A and B are shown apart, each in its own frame.
Chain A
Amino acid sequence: MNPEETQAFEEKIYAFIGRENGPPKKGHDAVNEPMIRHWAEIMGDESPVYTDSEAAINSSKGGIIAPPSMLQTWSMEGYSMAGDFVQDVQRGLHNVFDEHGYTGVLGTNTTTEFFRDLKPGDEVTAHTVIDSISEQKATARGIGYFIETVTTFTDQDGEDVGRQVFRVLKFVPADGDASASSESTDDESPAAPTRIASPRGHDNGWWWNAIDEGKMLIQRCKNCQTLRHPPRPMCGECQSIEWDSIESSMEGEVFSFTTLHYPKIPGYDYPLCCAVISLNEGTRIVSNIVGIDHEDVTIGMKVKGNIEQVDEKTMLPQFYPAQAGE
């Protein structure tokens, strides 16, 4: 879209702000014990005030109540949602977005406040307003706009019993996102992600292969005996291309370290402590420090490494604080 088209589009969408989504929506059923029991069973909510009338009467609640998070459930449309979309104002707004390429939709936030406990017999009505639409945002999903609807829930006396702000992102899906995989008939659930592996080439594959066998090696020049890590094809001291290796003791000390918090890359556990370790042999290696709270790691701390399977696919050196006396 050029700036003029964007402006015209934004005028259209912003005209929805403040509009009611439709007439107030009254729940098909009053708050009732069977639906509460059904919910509590599935959510694993063990509180007796939802399902045990005797315990509920003796509690501070004075009788059965509905789980607060069911609030929205009482006025849900139900089975018709499986058919064509309900044609309400919000759907109309989404259509405007869809027509302009903002076909992606993602619920991003809900903020729900509960003003009182609901009890069997209460009748809930939802009043929904399109409250705000953000300026254009660049998000991880793509360029889009956040739409906030506000629903006020009232009871049979017209009193407010709760309020929910619902935030949805309408966005332009990145190439190869939803549309590309729409034909997927893959029956496999996605596998748990693993750490990103090093590619293995001529100059480094032997080192990783040894890790897979439980050994951490250090490359050594055959001519001048100088150790080097990371491996490289020629000795910088004497230019020899002849080399062998020694097995490392995996003992050393922390030369520097840092703890990663964000972004969280799938396959790794955070906070994640990475360190540059000076090995007793004289070379350095980057690895993780584990077995200690990351806040207790210090520069100069003695460490001892093991080669471990850290996930389904990955063998990796991991370093622990050395035991006293080691």
Chain B
Amino acid sequence: MTTLHFESINVGDKLPAKEVPITSSLIVGGAVASRDFTTVHHDKKAAQKAGLPDIFMNILTSNGLMSSYITNWAGPDSTTKKIDLKLGAPNLPGFVMTITGEVKAKNEDHGTLEIEVTGENNVWGMHMQGTVQVQLPKGAQS
């Protein structure tokens, strides 16, 4: 896994889309990994009481998926500085979320990129939309 260099990225560059199958395992696993034991993220009956047909993804997992999408692209020497995330429709088991990203701005002074990331599921549409600010190394080291 290599790290991208700041100079090699241009505004308008698109990140490869990634499909994330949403399963009960992912939802429960993400909730537990983030120590979020709120019942609606692991107990279907509790989720139904809250008005949804099944358990749904917690916000920390959405943040985690957005952030991983960036680090898997940018590489290990990148540094995520900020995640600005707007939440839309819930992610439920059986959905497929497609994550896409586009470089919107470059800050030469700080070596940072602003990447607009969108996660849309195939059933209810936009699940998350946001901007990740990530710093990349400059120069030719690999």
Asked whether the complex places CB atoms of A and B closer than 8 A, the reply is: yes
Q: Which residues of A contact B (CB under 8 A)?
A: 35, 38-40, 42-49, 55-56, 59-61, 67-70, 72-73, 76-82, 106-114, 117, 173, 177-179, 181-182, 184-186, 188-193, 264, 266
CB-contacts of B1-56 with A (<8 A)? 1, 20, 26, 29-30, 32-39, 42-43, 48-51, 53-54
Inter-chain residue pair count (beta carbon < 8 A): 157
**Additional A-B contacts beyond A73-B35, A77-B35 (19; CB < 8 A):** A39-B34, A39-B64, A40-B68, A42-B26, A42-B30, A42-B61, A43-B65, A67-B64, A67-B71, A68-B79, A69-B66, A69-B67, A76-B35, A82-B43, A107-B59, A108-B87, A112-B63, A182-B51, A191-B123
Q: List 5 A-B contacts (CB under 8 A).
A: A76-B34, A79-B37, A109-B85, A110-B87, A111-B82
Does the CB pair B33–A60 fall under 8 Å? Answer: no
| Dominant SS among interface residues on chain B | mixed
Interface check B111, CB cutoff 8 A:
no
Does the CB pair B63–A47 fall under 8 Å? Answer: no
Interface check B122, CB cutoff 8 A:
yes
Does the CB pair A78–B37 fall under 8 Å? Answer: yes
Does the CB pair A43–B30 fall under 8 Å? Answer: yes
* Nearest CB on B from A272, distance (A): 13
Does the CB pair A178–B35 fall under 8 Å? Answer: no
Residues of B within 8 A of A189 (CB): 53-54, 92-95
Taken residue by residue from 66 to 83, chain B's Cβ proximity to chain A (1 for < 8 Å, 0 otherwise) reads as 111001100111011111
Partner of B35, one of A78, A107, A182, A185: A78
Does the CB pair B87–A109 fall under 8 Å? Answer: yes
Instruction: Given A43-B64, A67-B67, A112-B63, verify A186-B53 contact (CB < 8 Å).
Output: yes
Instruction: Given A42-B33, A67-B67, A82-B37, verify A55-B76 contact (CB < 8 Å).
Output: yes
Query: 4 closest Cβ contacts across the A-B interface?
Result: A178-B51, A76-B35, A189-B94, A45-B68
* Nearest CB on B from A140, distance (A): 10
Residues of B within 8 A of A182 (CB): 48-51
* Nearest CB on B from A71, distance (A): 9
Does the CB pair B38–A110 fall under 8 Å? Answer: no
Does the CB pair A112–B83 fall under 8 Å? Answer: yes
Does the CB pair B83–A185 fall under 8 Å? Answer: no
Partner of B83, one of A43, A48, A108, A111: A111
Residues of A within 8 A of B43 (CB): 82
Whole-angstrom distance between the alpha carbons of A146 and B86 in the complex? 13
Does the CB pair A76–B123 fall under 8 Å? Answer: no
Residues of A within 8 A of B82 (CB): 111-114
Residues of B within 8 A of A185 (CB): 48
Does the CB pair B68–A44 fall under 8 Å? Answer: yes
Partner of A69, one of B35, B48, B83, B124: B83
Residues of B within 8 A of A43 (CB): 30, 33, 61, 64-65, 67-68
* Nearest CB on B from A85, distance (A): 9
Residues of B within 8 A of A192 (CB): 122-123
Does the CB pair B92–A46 fall under 8 Å? Answer: no
Does the CB pair A59–B77 fall under 8 Å? Answer: yes
* Nearest CB on B from A33, distance (A): 13
Q: Which residue of B lies closest to A75 (CB)?
A: B35
Whole-angstrom distance between the alpha carbons of A79 and B35 in the complex? 7
Partner of B80, one of A39, A59, A68, A184: A68
Partner of A266, one of B30, B72, B125: B125
Whole-angstrom distance between the alpha carbons of A45 and B22 in the complex? 16
